[in-house]
Structure 1
Amino acid sequence: METESPTSNTTTETQDTVITSSATGNETATATTTSGSTKKRQRTIGEMFGPSSTTSKAPAAKRAKLEVTSTNKSVVSTSSKPSGPAVASISEFSLTKFKESLNPEERKLLLLECEAMDESWLALLEKEIRKPYFLRLKTFLWQEGIHDLGDIKVPLRCYPHPKDIYAWSNTPVGKVKVVIIGQDPYHNVGQAHGLCFSVPKGVKVPPSLVNIYSELKKEYPDFSPPKHGNLQAWVDDGVMLLNSCLTVRANTAASHSKRGWEDFTDKVVDLLDRHGGADLPSDSKEPGAARGLVWLAWGAFAIKRVSRLDKKRHLILQSPHPSPLSAHRGFLGNGHFKKANEWLEQRYGPEAKVDWCHLP
């Protein structure tokens, strides 16, 4: 879990320190293809799920295509093109109609989702967030002081700030190239901002991220670790930084775990498995067909979360957690950043590579 203090080099990421695993596995996203009348043009996932220019709550920074040179041997394996159910109907999602369909209690509990979740993801998760388990979770969070953007209690009792809880959703599903799985948010003041392993500028770089920078330096010697720990540039380049639990009580690690967030983010993983990367450049004759992602699973918890994915389509790279308690048991030297780019270049072309070193 991500519970590091900005003023300490210790960490409580203990359950993620016991796994040593090969970094050469492959996994899939159950692909989806759009289908319909021959009178209509098939649309890409990006066209269907891309963020609305008028409804996006927190538009991400401009996404630049930045190349990184990679010379290692490719680890790509070939597989058949994916297929899946038609998803064109989701493109008809209307936030207004969704709000109108909610009963008064749902309208109160789900107002934050309507305000803070990117509409491209809300379209995919509208049924999930109305399930009983999620409404129970939201009732609990309401009691914890997490309401909506118009009702923020100061000082915050829980992190991250409500506006950042769904920060991961600002990358449309079809644009995601890489997924990094975290556990729960940092629980000290000012650290969490909705992206796993990342902290806002001005906050001391946490120990795990120091080790991530060290590994990046090993793989790309010209990389100069920044003085900050904000990984938003990776997000803008198609890297999803997803915690399994999206909130935490101040100063209390794992305090919101096993309340429902894990079930919800399992659904997000499932959607990435089926639709992730579908709008990346492709020679597929099936518009909207997802062709796989890179998953970086660091530590026992993350490895378990990706264990059910299809290894014939995705590239799944596993290693111990970057925590100081385990980084020297296999995280440092894992080569994951270069391996990810080799696979992306083989699968989607050179423009799909992530510029890991660009952290302005």
Structure 2
Amino acid sequence: MLDLTGLGAWRALPFFADELPTLEKRLGADILPPEEKVFAALEQTSPDATRVVILGQDPYHTPGKADGLAFSIPDAFGGKLDSLGNIFKEIQSDTGSKRTKTSLNDWAAQGVLLLNTALTVPPGKPKAHAKLGWDKLVSQVLDRLDSHPRAFIFWGAPAQRYARSLRDHHLVITSPHPSPLSAYRGFFGSRPFSRVNRWLIEQGQEPINWADP
């Protein structure tokens, strides 16, 4: 069973009592990220600390690559960066700053909730858990965050569907997914990082350091 002890205030969401027991039975024995990291995004960024939400698609399906934070890769991974490499290119183009650290835990510590529309994937089978029931959790997370103005970045069609339910006091940025298959369709040049920071400053908040910490 998945460990819920680190969820803090997120633990009160109805999903964990109502939907998770059934979903767990459908997960299978081999999932990515590892079981202890499935809820890492929620564990590292509490509701009250969340200032920015980045919503992606599903975790990396290569063993050793997914760490529970959307788009983040363990610093020791050493393989192809794919989507994250394109994110680094956009950071450089958008802000003039360089990012090389692949683990995005420093973003999470600044209040960036790095969530996917599906929190698990079987090895080598992208999108296989897209209809497993994780959408209920994602909807409840966004509902929980809807009361106060926040910045939301939705990358890719699965993520963009959630933008429709939000109130109009947020900053909402949508673009194609940064994957190598779609980044050239409008992700590059979308300038999400500078746009978020400009909005945060207008709200009287500190900007996010998207570059290396």
Give me the TM-score of the superposition, normalised by structure 1: 0.56
Aligned amino acid, residue 212 of structure 1: I
Instruction: Give the corresponding residue for 1:137.
Output: 23
Is the partner of 1:179 in helix, strand or coil? Answer: strand
User: What amino acid maps onto 1:339 in structure 2?
Assistant: R
Query: In the alignment, is the contact (CA less than 8 A) between 1:205 and 1:229 conserved in 2?
Result: no
- Asked whether the equivalents of residues 341 and 353 of structure 1 are also in contact (C-alpha less than 8 Å), the reply is yes
* Distance across 1 between alignment mates of 2:126 and 2:184: 24
* Rounded Cα–Cα distance in structure 2 between residues aligned with 1:140 and 1:300: 24
1:306 to 163, 168, 186: 163
Query: Is the 2:155–2:176 contact (alpha carbons within 8 Å) kept by the matching residues of 1?
Result: yes
Query: 2:84 matched to which residue of 1?
Result: 209
Residues 150-229 of structure 1: matches in 2 within 5 Å? Answer: 157-169=30-42, 170-203=44-77, 204-221=79-96, 223-226=97-100, 228-229=101-102
Q: Deviations over 1:165-214 (max 9, x none)?
A: 11111211111111000111111110111011111112225221111111
SS at match of 1:240: strand
Q: For 1:173, what is the secondary structure of its paired residue?
A: coil
| Cα distance between partner residues in 1 of 2:164 and 2:80 | 30
CA contact (8 A) 2:3 2:36 kept: no
Q: How does 1:224-263 map to 2 (within 5 A)?
A: 224-226=98-100, 228-263=101-136
- List structure 1 runs of 4+ shifted beyond 4 angstroms: none
> What residue in structure 2 maps to residue 316 of structure 1?
172
Is 1:294–2:180 an aligned residue pair?
no
How do 1:87-106 residues align onto structure 2 when only pairs under 5 Å count?
Answer: none
**SS of match in other structure, 2:114:** strand
**Structure with larger Rg:** 1
| Counterpart code for 1:121 | W
1:259-304: CA deviation from partner (whole Å, max 9, x where unpaired): 2111122111111213xxxxxxxxxxxxxxx2x1110112222111
Q: In 1, are the aligned partners of 2:177 and 2:187 still within 8 Å (CA)?
A: yes
Q: What secondary structure does 1:174 align onto?
A: coil
Aligned to 1:87: none
Q: Deviations over 1:5-38 (max 9, x none)?
A: xxxxxxxxxxxxxxxxxxxxxxxxxxxxxxxxxx
What residue ranges of structure 1 are gaps of 5+ in the alignment?
1-108, 146-156, 275-289
Q: Distance in 2 between matches of 1:302 and 1:333?
A: 19
Residue 5 of structure 2 is aligned to residue 119 of structure 1:
no
* Kept after mapping to 2: 8 A contact 1:175/1:238: yes
Distance of 1:244 and 1:322 partners within structure 2: 15
In the alignment, residue 213 of structure 1 is paired with which amino acid? F
Q: Which residue of 2 aligns with 1:325?
A: 181
Q: Is the 8 A contact 2:56 2:177 kept in 1?
A: no
Please state how far the C-alpha of 1:326 moved relative to its aligned partner.
2.2
How far apart, in 2, do the equivalents of 1:298 and 1:177 lie? 17
Q: What are the ranges of 5 or more consecutive residues in structure 2 without an aligned counterpart?
A: none
- TM-score (structure 2 length as normaliser): 0.92
Provide the aligned length of Structure 1 versus Structure 2. 211
AA matched with 1:353: P
Is 2:19 aligned against 1:128? Answer: no
Deviation sequence 1:209-237 (CA, Å, 0-9, x none): 1111111111222x2231x4211111111
CA RMSD of aligned residues (A): 1.6
Letter in 1 for 2:16: I
- SS of alignment partner, residue 248 of structure 1: coil
